Structure 1
Amino acid sequence: MKRPFHKGWNVIRRITGMVMCLLCVITLLPLLQAEGAGIQNASRSMQPSTFAKSTAELHSDTLAPDAVQQFAREQAIILGTEHEGNHWDHAQLDFYPLGPGTRSWLVYANVVGSPVGYMIISANDQGQFQLSEYGQGEQRPYNISLLNQALDRQQLDLKKMINDGGGLQLRYAPPLLAYWKVERPNDDAIYIDATNGDTLPTSVLNALDRDSQQDTKRMKSIRSISVQAVVKTPDVSPKVPMLSVDSMDLQPLFDPADNLLWITSKALSISGVKTLNQQWKEHKKIVFSADQQNVMYGGPLPVSGYQIWRDDRGTVQNQYIAIGGNTSVRRFVPLQTLLRDGNFYAVKP
């Protein structure tokens, strides 16, 4: 099967780089102030909802309904089982909604101001939540420095742009496209990948915008999702599933563009972590590519590790595969998501 490799797209993704900003005027004004943007009187009412393990009550906030907070806290406690001292279970969680129609929330985890990791939580029409992706340590999407560099490369002054009627929004398009929408007054919006700072094709993102607006009209409200989920788990204190995570298995990072011979190889037969490990022993380096959907992944990307989630009997319940980490954020995503949308390829020496 022919798999087109868009060399021109990769060049664009590399050249556009990273640049100056502040996050969404509505959701990230405290960060804007920290960067010296000089916007006043907004942080009092725009602070994100937060809690830690010792918090007895989950506080509702327009940035994240109670059910989202509860689900996020459960996932954080599970991630905290990896090893003693990884601090997920004691982290403060900060919530940011990711655009209209997506029903997704970005969650930053910090301990005493130091990053522990991040999560992106998504909800379906039935109010069921999924951990769409997560990351460990300092690497996280929607990084302020990344955006600062990207906007600077575009020669944009965010404060002036906002004063003139423009704006900035955090967006997320399933399965894995994290991006900023930069609205310019009297000009077309531009879109920036929030995992690597690359500029995204406006035609594709404009279509996604139209779809998300239609989804928003069909939704009754985000809060209705919260009510559905709370009915299923009515306890105020988190009811944590008996799950735990193995230690992360990480692989050396590399750039798939350094050796393009993987394009000519056949897709590997991957059904789980076991077969993935077998391929690593034989080929050393593996690339994930969603082919013509790579714009939705920021790919092609190196496969850089995995983490297994188990129940209290030790049975494997979830397999999260790490993609990226070299020129983009390392993201742990469900193996089923990758198998549905793309293939794995061996990098030939």
Structure 2
Amino acid sequence: MKTAASGFASLMIMSLILFYLVPSAGSANQTALPETGALEPTSSSAAEPTPPHSDQPVTLDDHIRLWVKEVARTSGFEGWLEAGWTTYPLGPGTHGWVAIFEKDGQELGYFIIHATEIGGFLLGEYGTGSSPLFSEATLNHNVSLYGLHVNKEVQPQKIYMDPLQTVWQLEGTEETHYLDAVTGELLPVSETVSLWRSNQFHTALVPEALGPLASSSAVIQASGSMPPFDPFENTDWMLHKPVVSHELHDIMQAVHHEANVTFTAKLFEHTVLYAFGVSSYQIWSNKAAYVGLSLDTGGVRYIPFSVLQRYGNFFL
């Protein structure tokens, strides 16, 4: 996006607010779930081994460590084997966590992990870049940038409706502020969040409903990537044409041929239109498929393809 806050990012008014970002459940009976309501984050690293005499991962960190070892084999995740991470609960009722990865004082990326109903864990989404999802560094920077007057006695709250609708909620001295969980952009989504809360959608996020997600026993069987691009270099997608088939094979072929595909979605009750450049994909052995959406920070968000199919469209 092109704003004072971030490279390509921009906030535009055109009948709605428009901005974009450019560049099998495992061990069901042996998994120890951390307390989602815990206020204190926990820290770990990929270097720590799984417990001895254990054929299956036991703790949340054990599962994270296996995912790290797998993604570290692919482009864009260099250095992750030497990284540490801190896990934070996504909030009451979500049964999920965000793990923020860091190496030498620099943030590298993130995982979103969901607990399953039978006791395992699934990788909801993941990504790379110096401004990962729910980065407190990005949040603090933008609070200062916008000059927001925040009630410091109330902790910022993570709002995770689904992979595409994620925001920070901040209690101001006069009003509540909502900021995009990746870019830190201010969003006019108070009504959407209120509706979500009133319908208690936040207690009904079932990871299996997001489509196939990677378990910690799965491996990446296929992947591809291409250089990131600015979706506003070619704005034909604004005219709703041409639309790329919503088949994963077609998206994979476009990446292989370095054909610029833009994914768009009208989110938060159709009040905000996002546009992302598609730059990569990763297919896991349990049929979990993630499509990489480029960030202007140089990173990528890997979102389940089934979620993208449900919420938006792909344009050449």
Query: Same-fold call, TM > 0.5?
Result: yes
When residues 318 and 167 of structure 1 are mapped into structure 2, their CA distance, relative to the original with a 3 A threshold, is closer
1:162 aligns with 2:144: no
When residues 48 and 305 of structure 1 are mapped into structure 2, their CA distance, relative to the original with a 3 A threshold, is same
How many pairs are equivalent? 273
Trace 1:119-198 onto structure 2 (pairs within 5 A). Answer: 119-158=111-150, 161-163=151-153, 166-185=154-173, 187-198=174-185
Where does residue 238 of structure 2 map in the other structure? 263
Of residues 292, 306, 309, the one that matches 1:322 is 292
Preserved CA contact (<8 Å) 2:128 2:299: no
Where does residue 92 of structure 2 map in the other structure? 100
1:303 shift after superposition: 1.3
Of residues 65, 74, 79, the one that matches 1:82 is 74
1:106 shift after superposition: 0.7
Preserved CA contact (<8 Å) 1:101 1:215: yes
Q: Secondary structure at the match of 2:93?
A: coil
Of residues 291, 296, 302, the one that matches 1:332 is 302
Q: Secondary structure at the match of 2:43?
A: coil
When residues 184 and 340 of structure 1 are mapped into structure 2, their CA distance, relative to the original with a 3 A threshold, is same
Where does residue 10 of structure 1 map in the other structure? 17
Preserved CA contact (<8 Å) 1:78 1:245: no
Task: Report the TM-score, using the length of structure 1 for normalisation.
Answer: 0.65
Preserved CA contact (<8 Å) 1:103 1:122: yes
Where does residue 229 of structure 1 map in the other structure? none
Larger radius of gyration: 1
Name whichever structure is richer in helix by fraction.
Answer: 1
CA distance in 1, matches of 2:103, 2:278: 28
Task: Report the TM-score, using the length of structure 2 for normalisation.
Answer: 0.70
Deviations 1:188-209 (A, max 9, x none): 3211101122222211122223
Preserved CA contact (<8 Å) 1:95 1:108: yes
1:276 aligns with 2:238: no
1:152 shift after superposition: 2.6
Of residues 48, 57, 79, the one that matches 1:54 is 48
1:328 shift after superposition: 8.8
When residues 176 and 162 of structure 1 are mapped into structure 2, their CA distance, relative to the original with a 3 A threshold, is same
Identity %: 24
1:84 shift after superposition: 12
User: Which residue identity does 2:72 align to in structure 1?
Assistant: G
Name whichever structure is richer in strand by fraction.
Answer: 2
Deviations 1:156-199 (A, max 9, x none): 244xx224xx43112211133221110124x3321110112222
CA distance in 2, matches of 1:326, 1:90: 25
Deviations 1:49-92 (A, max 9, x none): 3243333449xxxxxxx643332222112112337993434432
Where does residue 250 of structure 1 map in the other structure? 226
Gaps of 5+ in 1: 15-25, 28-45, 59-65, 220-238, 312-316
CA distance in 1, matches of 2:277, 2:124: 19
1:112 shift after superposition: 4.2
More deviation in 324-333 or 129-138? 324-333
Q: Secondary structure at the match of 1:308?
A: strand
Where does residue 198 of structure 2 map in the other structure? 210
Deviations 1:237-279 (A, max 9, x none): xx952624556513332034x543213214211312x422444
When residues 283 and 255 of structure 1 are mapped into structure 2, their CA distance, relative to the original with a 3 A threshold, is same
Structure of greater relative contact order (alpha carbons < 8 Å, 6+ residues apart): 2
